[in-house]
Structure 1
Amino acid sequence: MNEQPFKIPFASPETLSEIFQSSAEGILMVDEAGIIRLANKASELMFGYQAGELPGKSLEILLPQRYRAGHVKYRESFRQAPAPRKMGVGRDLLAVRKDGTEFPVEVSLSHHRINNQFIVIAFIIDITERKKAEEAVKRSEEQLLLYAAELERKVRARTDALNKSVEDLERANRFLQEQIAERKKAEEEVKHALERERELNELKSKFVSIASHEFRTPLSTVLSSASLVMQYKEKGDLAKIDKHIQRIKSSVSHLTNILNDFLSLGKLEEGRIDIAKETIPLSELLHEVIEEMKPQLKEKQNLTLQIMGKEKPICTDPKVLRNILFNLISNASKYSEAGKPIAIHVTFWENHFDIAVIDQGIGIPKEDVKHLFERFFRASNAGQVQGTGLGLNIVKRYVELLNGEINFTSQEGKGSTFTIILPTT
């Protein structure tokens, strides 16, 4: 015996009525006079009415008293120029329950002509919980601002501590001026770093979190070494004094690099970088940069230069180009082990030239490549290598100011090559 296939009477009045009544959204059907003709169960529960109590009542009873007169005008305007609103795009409104309590709703409208009557169909969602969630998010944001202010306070406290360490260094220098001339230089570098730090009077929240972490180690080193210098001064132990002066200089150098990054970023953000081009011999500038960078390289790291093509004078901003090279060479050294070579390859073309900085360092993971030039981004394999995550972002923006471009290739564990392409004129 063959069974007849089961058919659902989708178009039947019973099915449509069941869909209408079982909808989780409140649905009202209102005629052009503003009288409710149909209301499903969800809308009756939402507004606190008994079953069958809403039909025949004016739509305006569902609005707070203060909005009713104005809503009549809006309803007539919609009738004159009906335009469906999709769910989720409707305006947030206030509605009122039968017991007089108000609550926020989202309403979307459509319209239809039934038996030659203009009928508006309203789909209503109670968004009370959504509003509570939005308020909770707003409170969280306010709390985060308070946390940021507290972090700024801590940074200022650290600055005061560093000022005290400078004063201690000044007192020590009065007793050791002839024996420790290098110490005076370290003191001046610390003062210079402090002056730059004070210029950052409006720190961004990201800066506060990074500075709180990055400043901790070098500041601790300066404070501890300054204290030990005072002790060794009394004993006349110049060898140990020199050792701690070198520690102070190294820490000050790291602090200076961090502050330079943030000052450069600030100037770029404010558009305060003026490009002053002049015609210079590129090879001469490169040799100067190499000589200046050598003391900052790790032990036995060798920096070489190779120029290909016929060299010609270039017209560029030497200060900006120098900053670009310092940053790229510093990164190559920082992310390479001691003894690993670093090469600079220059190629001259007809209207432009390329400078490639090549290292045999840790390389860049594939998943980090797309974020490499973003502010504050550091590769996942950077480990304990100190840095702000600003260097490459600053380099890219400097290169763009010189009407050039930067690209790179990298293989994790084998090294990276960063190439800048700049016009010769």
Structure 2
Amino acid sequence: MTQPPSSRPKAVSTSTAVPTWLTAYIEAALDGIIVLDASTGKVTDANPAALTLLGHESATLRAAHFSELLPWGTANPRTQISRRFRLDGQVAEAQVFRRADDSPVECDVTATSVSISGRELVVLHLRDASGRVDAQREQIEHERNQMLTELDETIAKRTEEFVGHVSHELRTPLAVILSSSSMLERYYLRLNETKRDEHFRRIHTQVHYLTEFIDKLRLLSRLDASLIPVRRELIDAREVVQELISEFANSPRLPHFHLSYNEGVDRVTFDATLWRRALSQLIDNAVKYGPIGGAVTIQLRRRIDGLLEATITDHGPGLPDDYLSVAFKPFKRGNNSRETQGAGIGLVIARRCAQMLNGTVTFDQDPVRGTVFTLLVPVD
């Protein structure tokens, strides 16, 4: 609200070069206006609104240097106006000025050069931005708190889901271990050797599964946290695949492996450990979900675009439709996997390892060959 003329501070005027009409305009303006001498940087005129905004008496501003209106250390009497304000008439938002009591006040500022009667002046147009800035800060704080709340809720939800998935995966093997160990404890002497071996084998299988499951969880958490360094080395990719084939050859599902490759795969430079981990998960997936005693075909190809391509074909029934869109999401499994023990994180690990190598993992459905997974990584 405009103050009555009798209560408004009296305008400062030390310039005889400013026309009467301009002085009248400056004094009547609702926003603060300060006129500076362009050569000296000193105040020549300031209207009542500027005096009120900055808390000055007219006497304190008379011939004061503009640096006295700015925060300590941001300007001095030798500072040129053009180094502190843009003289293009554009609004500079939330610029900090210093009140007479040294408290800060934020203003939207427009600085314009004018020439009057041969004298170069700079007109500062000040509009109090404190209310707007405070409102913006409150809005930012509100949005920040809202984001933190949503983040907390998301973390809580994902933690609950994670605990639920892990509990589900642990429940069945622990139940099997408890059942077989109880049978051995109570009826060991009554059981024949075949039955004893069967219970020991069940315990061993489930312990092996739990160990593998925990190892995968730990690996996945380290991949997510980027705790696994990437180390490049010269290797023979064929040897890595042959080692994996030897490991999976003793699987109870009795897979038959077929390996083929082209020239150049025997000398490639990249992180063999991450590549091996990704490939291991894809081979494991092919063995688990391909037919018992079926073929698993692995092809290595060094492409002319600098990529090493590995394809793994399981010759199985293919992925179910309900699984296609969630294949690379943690703890997701298809309807055809209920009879096969697994946690649903192998493909996630494979993709994360590939991503750390700047590579990709994709899959295709082939009505004849089954599911074909392709691992692509750049190599030297």
Q: What interval of TM-score do these two structures reach, taking the shorter chain for normalisation?
A: 0.5 to 0.7
Structure 1 CA distance for aligned equivalents of residues 252 and 230 of structure 2? 29
2:169 maps to which residue?
A: 214
2:34 maps to which residue?
A: none
- In the TM superposition, 1:15-30 aligns within 5 A as none
Structure 1 CA distance for aligned equivalents of residues 188 and 322 of structure 2? 52
Structure 2 CA distance for aligned equivalents of residues 413 and 220 of structure 1? 39
Q: Which amino acid aligns with 2:235?
A: I
Structure 2 CA distance for aligned equivalents of residues 290 and 366 of structure 1? 29
- In the TM superposition, 1:12-161 aligns within 5 A as none
Residues 1:365 and 1:220: Cα distance change in structure 2 (over 3 Å) = closer
- Which of 227, 230, 233 is residue 272 of structure 1 equivalent to? 227
1:353 maps to which residue?
A: 308
Structure 2 CA distance for aligned equivalents of residues 223 and 412 of structure 1? 42
8 Å CA contact 1:364–1:381 kept in 2: the answer is no
Deviation, structure 1 residue 328: 0.5
- More displaced 10-residue stretch of structure 1: 409-418 or 263-272: 409-418
1:340 maps to which residue?
A: 294
- Which of 252, 256, 268 is residue 211 of structure 2 equivalent to? 256
Is the partner of 2:342 in helix, strand or coil?
Answer: coil
8 Å CA contact 2:265–2:300 kept in 1: the answer is no
Structure 2 CA distance for aligned equivalents of residues 229 and 412 of structure 1? 47
Is the partner of 1:296 in helix, strand or coil?
Answer: coil
Is the partner of 1:295 in helix, strand or coil?
Answer: coil
2:355 maps to which residue?
A: 400
RMSD (Å), alpha carbons: 4.6
2:201 is the alignment partner of 1:246: yes
1:378 maps to which residue?
A: 332
TM-score normalised by the chain length of structure 1: 0.50
- Which of 289, 296, 319 is residue 364 of structure 1 equivalent to? 319
Residues 1:232 and 1:321: Cα distance change in structure 2 (over 3 Å) = farther
Is the partner of 1:363 in helix, strand or coil?
Answer: coil
8 Å CA contact 1:293–1:326 kept in 2: the answer is no
Structure 1 CA distance for aligned equivalents of residues 234 and 160 of structure 2? 41
Deviation, structure 1 residue 343: 0.9
Q: Which amino acid aligns with 2:299?
A: H
8 Å CA contact 1:313–1:424 kept in 2: the answer is no
Is the partner of 2:250 in helix, strand or coil?
Answer: helix
2:284 is the alignment partner of 1:330: yes
Deviation, structure 1 residue 345: 1.0
| Bigger share in helix | 1
Residues 1:413 and 1:297: Cα distance change in structure 2 (over 3 Å) = farther
Structure 2 CA distance for aligned equivalents of residues 418 and 250 of structure 1? 27
Is the partner of 1:212 in helix, strand or coil?
Answer: helix
Residues 1:377 and 1:222: Cα distance change in structure 2 (over 3 Å) = closer
Structure 2 CA distance for aligned equivalents of residues 237 and 215 of structure 1? 29
1:306 maps to which residue?
A: 260
Q: Which runs of 5+ in 1 are unaligned?
A: 1-30, 34-76, 83-89, 94-133, 149-203
- The runs of at least 4 aligned residues of structure 1 exceeding 6 Å deviation read none
1:62 maps to which residue?
A: none
Residues 1:255 and 1:412: Cα distance change in structure 2 (over 3 Å) = farther
Structure 2 CA distance for aligned equivalents of residues 227 and 402 of structure 1? 47
Structure 2 CA distance for aligned equivalents of residues 324 and 241 of structure 1? 37
Structure 1 CA distance for aligned equivalents of residues 314 and 219 of structure 2? 25
Is the partner of 2:335 in helix, strand or coil?
Answer: coil
Structure 1 CA distance for aligned equivalents of residues 2 and 347 of structure 2? 64
Residues 1:297 and 1:276: Cα distance change in structure 2 (over 3 Å) = farther
Higher-Rg member (1/2): 2
Residues 1:227 and 1:313: Cα distance change in structure 2 (over 3 Å) = same
Structure 2 CA distance for aligned equivalents of residues 256 and 305 of structure 1? 29
Residues 1:413 and 1:247: Cα distance change in structure 2 (over 3 Å) = farther
Structure 2 CA distance for aligned equivalents of residues 239 and 318 of structure 1? 43
2:345 is the alignment partner of 1:390: yes
2:245 is the alignment partner of 1:283: no
Is the partner of 1:206 in helix, strand or coil?
Answer: helix
8 Å CA contact 1:215–1:255 kept in 2: the answer is yes
**Residue deviations 1:67-117 (CA, integer Å, cap 9, x gap):** xxxxxxxxxx9xx989xxxxxxx99x9xxxxxxxxxxxxxxxxxxxxxxxx
Residues 1:358 and 1:408: Cα distance change in structure 2 (over 3 Å) = same
Structure 1 CA distance for aligned equivalents of residues 193 and 331 of structure 2? 42
Structure 1 CA distance for aligned equivalents of residues 336 and 260 of structure 2? 29
TM-score normalised by the chain length of structure 2: 0.55
Deviation, structure 1 residue 361: 2.5
8 Å CA contact 1:341–1:359 kept in 2: the answer is yes
Q: Which amino acid aligns with 2:230?
A: I
Aligned positions, number: 262
Residues 1:232 and 1:272: Cα distance change in structure 2 (over 3 Å) = same
Q: Which runs of 5+ in 2 are unaligned?
A: 4-106, 108-125, 129-134, 139-145
8 Å CA contact 2:301–2:308 kept in 1: the answer is yes
Percent of aligned pairs sharing the same letter: 28
1:424 maps to which residue?
A: 379
